[in-house]
């Protein structure tokens, strides 16, 4: 049987180097021309706890997570029982027989194949430490044979991965060879995947959203990044520094950027405000707990109108929640972060390309609108492997907003005067050599020339102008994506659920039901969002959180749609699997209503 | 009217009218700052005045009106200054904070700014209370002192100067708001220091901490102040005048060629380049509840944040335009090879 869709689960123990083995296998599939994605389901721990790696191969281009697998590769005795629950009946389990598992204890639903992976690794090296790592590499050989991949493709990937270390390459190749040989000699139950299109990925890359975002910031003109380490956002900051060291450093070592690891998130965001106030394009990446700590400064940015960007790679909360699992749990908190009236601009990329683009877009908007921009991605998009078209540096000019230089400023200058009647005022930067340029930034009540006032009317006018500034410039925010609005029913989603939703829609279509689709990329919403909801009899809003945060924002903004929009939620920390959504949509369409 | 070397009068270093209580120590500090900035010939447009929240933090509005100021949020003067200085290294950052602002809510930021050695002047206007929230104890209140209502302080004070030293600060001074003669040259030296120059200025709160029982009242400070040295500042261009006789004075050269001249006022062997000695003097003073003023510690040969390899941004970041720094598609393609 030719397999057009296949999900396998590699169950390992974290801290054993399984990450490289998994990446090598995924990349080999990628280079062979398969549509593949890899999701690391890992614990908040450095070594010794269970980690699963879900790989999906799909002919039609679908890349959503599937919570049911057709093959289990088990390197972890302690989770075998759990892992096999997610395995379709009749599937095979390949396990490391050096772990002394007893096949008689196993459920009868599955077929078991033991391979002495550790022994195979021991054939290659002696040192116990290396054996541990190479044991994982042997299963790459096993999988290469089982899926009938071209061994040379795998070898090339290994060589490229450990380029600078020829010895490491050699050991890994040998380990893969051992696994491969063993499989050839002992198993004849291989998997026949669909014939790949060799050119499918010729112009593609396979990467995670944090890396793409980091590159996007480098290309988008981010001068300054401050951060406090927190999963799943750390790799964004680390990659920004890494690529800036390469791309934003002069030959003499002079840096054209700065990256500061702050003492906490209170400082990280404050540094961004200081830098933004002084005229640099600045950002701080974080995740939910950090976002909470940034709340006070978020209000300052909003009210004193200081450019700033927070890039929140969401994880499952509240509190410390499931720190290494995915969720879209910070949406409402981001939208209204801080005290008083603050309604922030929130941008929500949903693809690797958008992670790249939104670096520049968010920095532009922060300077154009002179306010905080919060970008929301999540662990799934930020840290997992997604195929994407090659990233393209934008040819656009960076938008630096309304800044007056020394020659443009005069005695008439008032920091908060709405000269152009678009809510956006002109600002000056410290260091501007003109005595009229200076003004006093404060978070307290201020009048047009930025001096202190508690005058009620002025306060009201100012807050209203700030609202107008954002609301009348919604067109500058990334437009929602929509597939049309001719049908009666629709699904609205945002961020990383895009693949699961489009796949659901395709599955429904195969059953004869055409459903429209919209992916929202920004808050406050564009007018198109309202039109879209109004144009449909029923719309299902997909949220990766318990409370249906997007659903409630939509209802808040468009209350007249209250009986037309339905909330679908998924919040167990795993990426969305389409099956539940599909059932839900069918139920709603069949006449289900609000409970 | 006299002018400084930039052709500016002292008036041009003044700010808006103060709204602090009449007699507040903070206002005197503002006046001394105006004098010091004027005499230092600091270009007003390069000054960035940054503060947190408190009566003390309000004072950024009361000097150099034409400069940019930022009265931010409570406890965040340090990281905001850090961001501003890194964004534009040409700025002369004057950070003003209070004892509440720096010793409690902003303590983390304070310590880490010093550790990074961000080039700026960091002033704490220290009155031992939270003035703006009406007189509660701050963490710099001395053990045994009282607030106005009579409540006793049971804990040791946090000494910001010794904390600054342990955090790696290379310019640590304590002063009194009422001592112009000492404070003006101290600020001038601070402006010329190649790193963070920290000055803890005891600054009585006349409304909430000027009573008997406060160790930061005018009377208490006057009676218990111990001045370590007569402090002089000699700008780079000036000849060293004969006032500073060798033997009785210690001359400390700053990175830009200016000098600090310290004239001994008593028999003590105090030497501000001796870390251990400075620490023990500070501790003694704290134990005896005396107010030890002067330059407590100086270490000149330190790299500041912007001189490290990791962060040496020679051109101010704010001047780096797209044409100058944006990498091209070819470079991106090279990087993307690793993801193919
Ligand atoms: C986050 C936050 N918490 C509390 C306050 C209230 N508050 C305003 S000023 C202040 C204390 C200021 O004390 P200090 O820094 O010593 O300044 P002083 O008024 O004594 O000069 C406090 C607690 C605040 N503004 N923000
Ligand atoms: S309350 Fe105290 S610190 Fe505040 S202005 Fe009045 S005297 Fe100064
Ligand atoms: Mg105080």
Asked whether residue A395 is assigned to any structural domain, the reply reads no
Q: Does A391 touch chain B (CB under 8 A)?
A: yes
Ligand 1 atom 4: residue of nearest CA:
B74
Q: Which of B48, B309, B318 sits opposite A280 (nearest CB)?
A: B318
Model confidence at B335: pLDDT above 60: yes
Residues in chain B closer than 8 A to A449 (CB atoms): none
| A162 and A195 together in one domain | yes
Compute chain B's Rg from CA coordinates. Answer: 21
**Residue B110 distance to chain A (closest CA, Å):** 10
- Reply yes or no on whether the pLDDT at B248 is more than 80: no
Nearest to A270 among B79, B309, B318 (CB): B79
The total of other beta-carbon atoms located within 10 Å of residue B137's CB is: 23
The answer to whether B317 contacts A437, with C-beta atoms less than 8 Å apart, is no
| pLDDT on residue B241 | 56
Q: Looking at the structure, tell me whether residues A16 and A156 fall in a common domain.
A: yes
Of the candidates A279, A392, A437, the beta carbon closest to that of B87 is on A279
A192 in the same domain as A169 = yes
Nearest to A550 by CA among A560, A537, A540: A540
In a shared domain, residues A541 and A438:
no
Domain boundary residue, one of A140, A174, A202: A202
According to DSSP, the β-strands at A481-482 and A516-520 are antiparallel
- Residues composing chain A: 595
Shortest Cα–Cα distance, B321 to chain A (Å): 8
Question: What single-letter DSSP state applies at residue B196?
Answer: E
Give the end of a domain, one of A389, A423, A445: A389
Residue ending a domain, choose from A364, A389, A414: A389
Name the residue facing A271 among B82, B311, B322 (closest C-beta). Answer: B82
How far is Cα B209 from Cα B211, in angstroms, rounded to an integer?
Answer: 6
B125 lines ligand 1 (CB under 6 A): yes
Total length of chain B? 340
Nearest-atom index, ligand 2, CA of B203? 3
> To 10 degrees, the CA torsion angle through B329, B330, B332, B336?
130
Q: If you measure from the C-alpha of residue A363 to the centroid of ligand 1, how many angstroms do you get, rounded to a whole number? A: 32
Cβ of A438 within 8 Å of Cβ of B45? The answer is: yes
Phi, psi for residue A89 in degrees, rounded to 5: -55, 145
- Chain A: give the shortest CA distance to residue B138, in Å: 21
Nearest to A392 among B12, B311, B329 (CB): B329
- Judged by a CB distance cut-off of 8 A, whether residue A444 touches chain B is yes
Give me the pLDDT at residue A188, please: 86
Nearest-CA residue for ligand 2 atom 5 is B20
Is the CB of residue B127 below 6 angstroms from any atom belonging to ligand 1? yes
Ligand nearest the Cα atom of residue B101: 1
Q: CA B76, CA B79: separation in Å to the nearest integer?
A: 6
Cβ–Cβ below 8 Å for A429 and B68: yes
CATH number for the domain running over B10-305: 3.40.50.970
Judge if A49 and A17 occupy the same domain: yes
From chain A, pick out residues whose CB is under 8 angstroms from the CB of B75.
266
Tell me, yes or no, whether A448 and A579 share the same domain.
no
Which residues approach ligand 2 with their CB closer than 6 A? B 20-21, 24, 26, 55, 127, 131-132, 205-208
Q: Which two tokens stand for residue A343?
A: 């309604």
- Say which ligand is closest to the CA of B210: 2
Same domain assignment for residues A496 and A559:
yes
Phi, psi angle pair for A273, to nearest 5°: -65, -40
For residue A517, the cross-strand partners are: A491
pLDDT of res. A591:
87
Complex-level ipTM beyond the 0.85 threshold: yes
Query: What would the pLDDT profile of B72-109 be if each residue is shown by its tens digit?
Result: 999 999 999 999 999 999 999 999 999 999 999 999 99
The nearest alpha carbon in chain B to A270 belongs to: B80
Tell me what pLDDT residue A38 has. Answer: 96
Locate the ligand 2 atom nearest the alpha carbon of residue B127 and give its number. 3
d(CA B26, CA B208): 13
**B83:A433 CB<8 A:** no
- pLDDT score recorded for residue A101: 78
User: Do A503 and A456 sit in the same domain of this protein?
Assistant: no
Q: Is residue A594 part of a domain?
A: no
CB pairs under 8 A between A and B: 225
Q: Give the DSSP letter of residue A491.
A: E
Exposure b/e, A278-294, CB count within 10 A at least 16 = b: bbbbbbbbbbbbbbebb
Ion ligand 3 — residues with CB < 5 Å: B 98-100, 127
Residue A153 lies in a domain: yes
CA A495 – CA B281 distance, rounded (Å): 60
User: Mean pLDDT of all residues in chain B?
Assistant: 95
**Which of A215, A254, A436 has its CB closest to that of B312?**
A254
The answer to whether A205 faces chain B, any CB pair under 8 Å, is yes
What CATH number did the domain enclosing A163 receive? 3.40.920.10
Q: What letters, b where the CB count within 10 A reaches 16 and e where it falls short, cover A354-374?
A: bbbbbbbbbbbbbbbbbbbbb
Probe target for ligand 1 pocket from B98, B140, B205, with the most ligand atoms within 8 Å of CB: B98
User: Does residue B272 register a pLDDT over 70?
Assistant: yes
Residue whose tokens read 């409970």: A595
Do A523 and A503 share a structural domain?
yes
Residue A443 contacts B where some CB pair is shorter than 8 Å: yes
Most A CBs within 10 A among B17, B70, B81, B112, hence the mutation to make, goes to B70
With a 6 Å cutoff on the Cβ, whether B126 touches ligand 1 is: no
Could you say which ligand is closest to the alpha carbon of residue B21?
2
The gap between the terminal CA atoms of chain A, to the nearest Å, is 44
So what's the pLDDT on residue B243? 57
| Contact criterion met (CB < 8 Å) for A271 and B69 | no
What distance in Å separates the CA atoms of residue A44 and residue A525, rounded to the nearest whole number?
35
Q: Is B207 in the pocket of ligand 1 (CB under 6 A)?
A: no
Number of independent structural domains in chain A: 4
| A59 located within any domain | yes
Indicate which CATH number applies to the domain containing A537. Answer: 3.40.50.920
> Does residue A422 lie within any of the structural domains?
yes
> pLDDT band at B300, cuts 50/70/90?
confident
Say yes or no: A458 and A489 in one domain.
Answer: no
- Across B29-46, b (16+ Cβ under 10 Å) vs e yields bbbbbbbbbbbbebebbb
B-chain residue closest to A212, CA distance = B336
- Tell me how far the alpha carbon of residue A275 lies from the centroid of ligand 1, in angstroms: 24
Residues A412 and A513 in one domain: no
- B-chain residues within 8 Å CB-CB of A205? 336, 339-340
Closest by Cα among A221, A388, A371, A401 to A310: A371
pLDDT reported for residue B239: 63
Residue A426 structural domain: 402-466+473-478
What CA–CA distance (Å, rounded) separates A369 from A345?
A: 9
Residue B97 CA, closest ligand 1 atom number: 15
Q: What is the pLDDT of residue A16?
A: 85
Of all residues in chain A, the one with the smallest CA distance to B112 is A263
The reply to whether A256 and A284 lie within a common domain is yes
- What integer pLDDT is reported at residue A1 of this predicted model? 87
Which candidate in B58, B83, B328 is best for mutational testing of the A interface (most A CBs within 10 A)?
B83
Residue with tokens 């990498």: B327
User: Has residue B244 got a pLDDT over 70?
Assistant: no
Q: pLDDT tens track of chain A, all 595 residues?
A: 899 999 999 999 988 889 999 999 999 999 999 999 999 999 988 888 999 999 999 999 999 999 999 999 999 988 998 999 999 999 999 999 998 877 777 778 899 999 999 999 999 999 998 999 999 999 999 999 999 999 999 999 999 999 999 999 999 999 999 999 999 999 987 899 999 999 999 999 999 999 999 999 999 999 999 999 999 999 999 999 999 999 999 999 999 999 999 999 999 999 999 999 999 999 999 999 999 999 999 999 999 999 999 999 999 999 999 999 999 999 999 999 999 999 999 999 999 999 999 999 999 999 999 999 999 999 999 999 999 999 999 999 999 999 999 999 999 999 999 999 999 999 999 999 999 999 999 999 999 999 999 999 999 999 999 999 999 999 999 999 999 889 999 999 999 999 999 999 999 999 999 999 999 999 999 999 999 999 999 999 999 999 999 999 999 999 999 999 999 999 999 999 999 999 999 999 998 665 4
- Tell me whether residues B67 and A438 touch, CB distance under 8 A: yes
Query: Which residues from chain A sit within 8 angstroms of residue B67, using beta carbons?
Result: 430, 438
Q: How far apart are CA A485 and CA A514, in angstroms?
A: 11
Closest ligand 2 atom number to CA of residue B27:
8
């Amino acid at each position: 049987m030719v397999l057009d869709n296949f999900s396998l689960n590699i169950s390992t123990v974290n801290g054993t180097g399984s990450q490289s083995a998994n990446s090598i296998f995924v990349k080999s599939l990628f280079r062979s021309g398969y549509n593949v994605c890899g999701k690391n389901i890992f614990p908040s721990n450095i070594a010794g706890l269970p980690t699963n790696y879900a790989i999906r191969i799909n002919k039609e281009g679908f890349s959503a997570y599937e919570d049911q697998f057709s093959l289990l590769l088990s390197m972890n005795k302690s989770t075998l029982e759990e892992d096999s629950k997610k395995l379709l009946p009749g599937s095979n389990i390949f396990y490391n027989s050096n772990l002394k598992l007893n096949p008689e204890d196993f459920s009868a639903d599955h077929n078991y194949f033991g391979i002495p992976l550790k022994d195979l690794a021991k054939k290659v090296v002696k040192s116990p430490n290396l054996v541990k790592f190479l044991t994982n590499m042997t299963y790459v050989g096993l999988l290469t044979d089982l899926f009938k991949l071209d061994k040379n493709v795998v070898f090339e990937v290994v060589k490229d991965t450990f380029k600078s270390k020829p010895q490491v390459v050699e050991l890994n190749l040998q380990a893969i060879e051992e696994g491969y040989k063993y499989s050839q000699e002992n198993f004849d139950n291989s998997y026949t995947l669909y014939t790949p299109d060799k050119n499918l990925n010729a112009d593609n890359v396979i990467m995670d959203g944090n890396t793409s975002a980091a590159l996007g910031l480098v290309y988008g003109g981010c001068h300054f990044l401050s951060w406090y380490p927190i999963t799943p956002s750390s790799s964004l900051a680390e990659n920004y520094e890494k690529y800036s060291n390469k791309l934003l450093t002069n030959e003499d070592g002079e840096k054209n950027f700065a990256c500061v690891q702050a003492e906490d998130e209170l400082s990280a965001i404050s540094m961004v405000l200081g830098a933004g106030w002084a005229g640099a394009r600045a950002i701080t990446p974080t995740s939910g707990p950090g976002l909470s700590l940034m709340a006070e400064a978020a209000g300052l940015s909003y009210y004193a109108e200081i450019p700033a960007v927070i890039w929140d790679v969401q994880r499952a909360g509240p509190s410390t929640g499931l720190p290494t699992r995915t969720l879209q749990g910070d949406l409402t908190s981001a939208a209204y972060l801080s005290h008083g009236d603050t309604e922030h601009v929130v941008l929500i990329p949903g693809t690797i390309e958008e992670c790249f683009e939104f670096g520049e877009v968010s920095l532009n908007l922060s300077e154009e609108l002179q306010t905080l921009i919060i970008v929301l991605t999540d662990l799934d998009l930020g840290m997992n492997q997604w195929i994407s078209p090659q990233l393209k540096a934008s040819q656009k000019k960076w938008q630096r907003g309304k800044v007056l230089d020394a020659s443009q400023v005069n005695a008439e200058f008032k920091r908060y005067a709405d000269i152009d009647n678009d809510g956006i005022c002109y600002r000056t930067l410290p260091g501007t050599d003109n005595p009229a340029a200076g003004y006093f930034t404060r978070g307290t009540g201020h009048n047009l020339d930025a001096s202190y006032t508690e005058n009620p009317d002025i306060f009201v006018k100012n807050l209203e102008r700030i609202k107008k500034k954002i609301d009348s410039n919604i067109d500058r925010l990334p437009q929602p994506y929509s597939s049309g609005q001719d049908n009666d029913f629709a699904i609205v989603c945002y961020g990383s659920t895009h693949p699961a939703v489009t796949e659901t829609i395709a599955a429904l279509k195969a059953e004869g039901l055409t459903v429209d689709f919209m992916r929202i990329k920004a808050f406050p919403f564009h007018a198109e969002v309202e039109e879209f909801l109004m144009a449909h009899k029923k719309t299902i809003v997909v949220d990766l959180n318990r409370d249906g945060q997007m659903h409630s924002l939509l209802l808040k903004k468009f209350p007249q749609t209250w009986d037309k929009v339905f909330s679908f939620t998924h919040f167990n920390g795993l990426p969305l699997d389409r099956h539940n959504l599909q059932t839900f949509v069918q139920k709603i369409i069949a006449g289900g209503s609000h409970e | 009217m006299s002018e400084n070397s930039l052709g500016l009068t002292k008036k041009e270093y003044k700010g808006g009218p103060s709204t602090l209580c009449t007699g507040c120590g903070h206002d005197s500090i503002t006046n001394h700052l105006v004098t010091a900035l004027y005499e230092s010939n600091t270009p007003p447009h390069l000054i960035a005045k940054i503060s947190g929240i408190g009566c003390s933090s309000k004072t950024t509005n009361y000097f150099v009106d034409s400069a940019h100021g930022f009265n931010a949020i409570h406890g965040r003067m340090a990281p905001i200054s850090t961001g501003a200085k890194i964004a534009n290294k040409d700025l002369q950052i004057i950070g003003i904070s209070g004892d509440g602002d720096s010793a409690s809510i902003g303590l983390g930021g304070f310590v880490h700014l010093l550790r990074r050695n961000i080039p700026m002047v960091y002033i704490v206007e220290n009155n031992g209370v939270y003035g703006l929230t009406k007189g509660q104890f701050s963490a710099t209140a001395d053990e045994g002192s009282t607030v106005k209502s009579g409540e006793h302080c049971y804990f040791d004070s946090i000494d910001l100067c010794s904390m600054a030293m342990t955090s790696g600060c290379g310019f640590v001074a304590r002063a009194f708001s009422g001592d112009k003669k000492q404070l003006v040259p101290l600020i001038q030296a601070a402006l010329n220091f190649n790193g963070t120059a920290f000055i803890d200025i005891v600054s009585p709160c006349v409304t909430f901490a000027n009573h008997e029982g406060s160790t930061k009242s005018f009377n208490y400070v006057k009676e218990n102040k111990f001045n370590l040295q007569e402090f002089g500042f000699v700008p780079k261009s000036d000849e060293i005048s004969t006032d500073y006789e060798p033997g009785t004075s210690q001359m400390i050269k700053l990175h830009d060629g200016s000098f600090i001249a310290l004239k001994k006022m008593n028999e003590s062997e105090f030497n501000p380049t001796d870390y251990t000695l400075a620490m023990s003097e500070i501790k003694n003073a704290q134990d005896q509840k005396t107010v030890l003023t002067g330059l407590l510690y100086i270490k000149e040969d330190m790299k500041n944040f912007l001189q490290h390899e990791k962060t040496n941004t020679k051109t101010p970041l704010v001047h780096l335009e797209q044409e100058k720094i944006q990498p091209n598609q070819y470079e991106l393609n090279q990087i993307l090879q690793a993801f193919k």
